[in-house]
Structure 1
Amino acid sequence: MRTPEHSIDSFKFVLDQIVGDLKGVFVGTHDVLAVLGAYYAARKMYGAVSTVAEAVYVHLLGRASNMDWVTNYGPWAVVTGSSEGIGRAYANELALRGLNIVLMSRNERRLARAKAEIEMDCKVRVEYIVADFASDNQTDLYKTIEAALADKEVGLLVNNVGVMYDFPDVLLNISQQKLWQLIHVNIGAATMMTHMLLSAMVDRGKGGVVVVSSGSSTQMTPQMTVYSATKRYLDYFIHSLAYEYRNSGITFQCLIPFYTATRMTGYSERLSKGGWIVPDAARYASSAVETLGRSQCTTGYFPHTLQLWIGQAVPNWLWMWGSEKLNNSLRQEALARLARRASRYGSQEILSDNSRTP
């Protein structure tokens, strides 16, 4: 017969067993969580170190300038939106590396001036095609361009032409005409020019396609909504093409510049002054061209890469809040400049097409 003392001992034994088992579970769980935490921290550290190392490689360890560009890509480069701004400066950098250049823009006077200057400085052949990528007749536009390029071995296409708002603003203040320009120029031009010229590059097993996107495409950007969305398209477009044609020998690159002092930012005195953070077109292009072949997606300019890291690190709500504050300020500055200009000339003069890469 069991005594009460025996019952108490048995209960205590069972309780000790349960407590011991639970301690083992908690200790095991603690160990697993510690391992997972260490793995997560290691992954984060590895990602940060890799990002910095890639930036150093892309921006600081020059290699592209020692390359034979004609052999690697081909004798001709086509640069859209190249009568001035980033396109004009990028064309000049390619000409310095021995490539013949086809300039494309809607303004023939500026094209002729750019042609003469590049030929004088670089001793290469330069031709131009007058092309308004916002044309109502898109079919005839690209037929004309294709016929003009038919006799050239185009090894490098730089899709630079672009349209921006006159200044940052909300959607309903943007005209339908401007919205169609954004679609035809920012999306249509890069798509159709690439479709036109990529086939011959694939047949030769060499060539390059560059698209110029925008830092505003990093995250959703209020008051540049349609512009940033069209530039995001270019990012998706070039990355998908790079995968589709990964074994073709073609180099693909998406450039993501942040603010650069060009005519497109002419609505703001602050942005037009330029500087280290906001470079002029020549400084940006001389940096960006060196990254070709080293990075499929880059800002092209190290200070802009620092801005990109910040943009990728902050949550989307904070990016949108900050973007709205900045764009409100830029819009007010643009409107004040327009008011002063209207007062000076006695008319409601608007910005003279500053919003478009020519």
Structure 2
Amino acid sequence: MSHAHTKMSVDSVQFLVQNLFDPWTVRLVDWLFYAGVAVGVTKIAQGLYSFIPGVYTYFYPKLRPLSLTDKYGRWAVITGATSSLGTAFAKELAACGFDVVLISRSYDNLLDMASEIQSQYSVQAYGIHADFFLGQSVYNEIEKALLTDTLDIGVLVNVNPIKYDHPQYFSQVPNNRLWQLVNVNIASTTMMTHMILPTMLERGRGAIINVSSALGDAPPTPLLAAEAASMSFVTMLGRTLHDEYHHKGITVQTLTPLPLSKDNSFVSPSPEVYVRHALRTLDYRSNCCGYWIHAIINYVYQLVPARLWVWFMSQRNQKMRERQLTVGARERGGVTFSKNRSTVSFAITTTPDEVYTASEAGQRPELIRNYSRVAVMPSVAEQESNK
């Protein structure tokens, strides 16, 4: 009896447990199913939400003519003009009918480029030879040259060409490279925008294109700390300025491309191909990659958990660093500065044959006075008034 009674008691407990918890188990499974469906629908909706603007940004503009000069103005100013990307912007804007002002520290390349653009595109091309590494005095002189009543500056392109030579630990990055990142990528973008924006506001139109990189939108990227930070600054500055000024007729666009290649591959287009695509997005997106393949890749990157991204990039960049150290790679690329910092030179050109240069050893005040007497843009004004 006791054994049968015990068995009946156990069965009763099992029956009670099944009746109490089975409905909850079923409900839990149902809830998990519906939650999974909701997550799936959300992801699909997010994909469509990204896909539709992507089509609008990268494909719809190709169906319409590109008439930037009519909307923004006649003149375009390009910093970093002799870098590969800066050159591509200058030539493409000239092809669109813009007269261009080229700003670069590479004097010989500046002359050749101005001459080539004038002859090839039948537009005016003027050069300002300036080294952003030198600080505030450079901007004072650029401002004197640029800001004339006759120059309808419609587009400013801030190209930020300074990058690491190869992935490095922050403590091992040379001091001069850190200053280049600050003075060229951060300070020049800030000060050139601050300089030209008021003239655009007076006219009620204008476009500012800040070229950042995909690092500016990415989670922390080990071994590229200062470069990524400078790109994040450029990206955030552009986004914020767009929100401040888009209702006043000023377009501020931030481009965040992935690496480009002179070989012009499908994933890494050449600077020329990239710029042709990027300029068509100007009226359609304030922050984008500028190239549709890059936009797809960047979207996939954003799906990667931040911790996984940090781990992967740490491993990847560490291997790249070791490879560079193994082959004895020395610092290269970007901007190379003269070892003799006591000699400073400036030049401004109106045409390839009309050049003013000044060089003084430790005589900055005298140099600036000489430099300020060069009537660069007034000569442009004279040509404008004669038309």
1-structure distance, mates of 2:334, 2:314: 19
2-structure distance, mates of 1:63, 1:277: 20
AA at the equivalent of 1:289: L
Alignment of 1:283 onto 2:283: no
Find the counterpart in structure 1 of residue 358 from structure 2.
none
Find the counterpart in structure 2 of residue 112 from structure 1.
111
- Do the aligned residues in 1 keep the contact of 2:102 with 2:127 (CA within 8 Å)? yes
Structure 1 residues 319 and 32: alpha-carbon distance in aligned structure 2, compared to 1, 3 A threshold: closer
Q: How far is 1:34 from its partner?
A: 7.5
Within-5 A mapping of 1:309-324: 309-324=299-314
C-alpha deviations, 1:236-289, integer Å up to 9, x for none? 111111111131011111100111126xxxxxxxxxx55222222112111111
Aligned match for 1:146, one of 143, 149, 152: 143
Alignment of 1:255 onto 2:255: yes
1-structure distance, mates of 2:63, 2:102: 22
Structure 1 residues 26 and 334: alpha-carbon distance in aligned structure 2, compared to 1, 3 A threshold: closer
1-structure distance, mates of 2:198, 2:144: 15
Gap regions ≥5 residues in structure 2:
1-18, 338-387
Within-5 A mapping of 1:17-56: 40-56=39-55
Within-5 A mapping of 1:258-269: 258-261=258-261
Q: Secondary structure at the match of 1:155?
A: strand
- Do the aligned residues in 2 keep the contact of 1:82 with 1:105 (CA within 8 Å)? yes
Q: TM-score under structure 1 normalisation? A: 0.80
Find the counterpart in structure 2 of residue 164 from structure 1.
163
Find the counterpart in structure 2 of residue 342 from structure 1.
none
AA at the equivalent of 2:100: I
Find the counterpart in structure 1 of residue 341 from structure 2.
none
Q: TM-score under structure 2 normalisation? A: 0.74
Q: Secondary structure at the match of 2:296?
A: helix
Q: Secondary structure at the match of 1:247?
A: helix
Structure 1 residues 245 and 29: alpha-carbon distance in aligned structure 2, compared to 1, 3 A threshold: farther
Q: Secondary structure at the match of 1:291?
A: coil
- Do the aligned residues in 1 keep the contact of 2:245 with 2:251 (CA within 8 Å)? no
Within-5 A mapping of 1:1-358: 40-63=39-62, 66-135=65-134, 138-151=135-148, 152-217=151-216, 218-261=218-261, 273=263, 275-338=265-328, 350-352=330-332, 354-356=333-335
2-structure distance, mates of 1:206, 1:27: 62
2-structure distance, mates of 1:299, 1:337: 33
2-structure distance, mates of 1:63, 1:306: 18
1-structure distance, mates of 2:118, 2:317: 39
2-structure distance, mates of 1:338, 1:300: 35
Q: Secondary structure at the match of 1:260?
A: coil
Structure 1 residues 245 and 159: alpha-carbon distance in aligned structure 2, compared to 1, 3 A threshold: same
Higher mean C-alpha displacement, 213-222 vs 187-196: 213-222
1-structure distance, mates of 2:229, 2:336: 17
C-alpha deviations, 1:149-204, integer Å up to 9, x for none? 02222111111033112211110111222212111111111111111111111121
AA at the equivalent of 1:256: T
2-structure distance, mates of 1:275, 1:180: 33
2-structure distance, mates of 1:228, 1:181: 14
Find the counterpart in structure 2 of residue 346 from structure 1.
none
Structure 1 residues 73 and 294: alpha-carbon distance in aligned structure 2, compared to 1, 3 A threshold: same
C-alpha deviations, 1:77-110, integer Å up to 9, x for none? 1111011311110111111110111111110111
RMSD (Å) for aligned C-alpha atoms = 2.7
Q: Quick one: percent identity of the two aligned structures? A: 31
2-structure distance, mates of 1:315, 1:276: 26
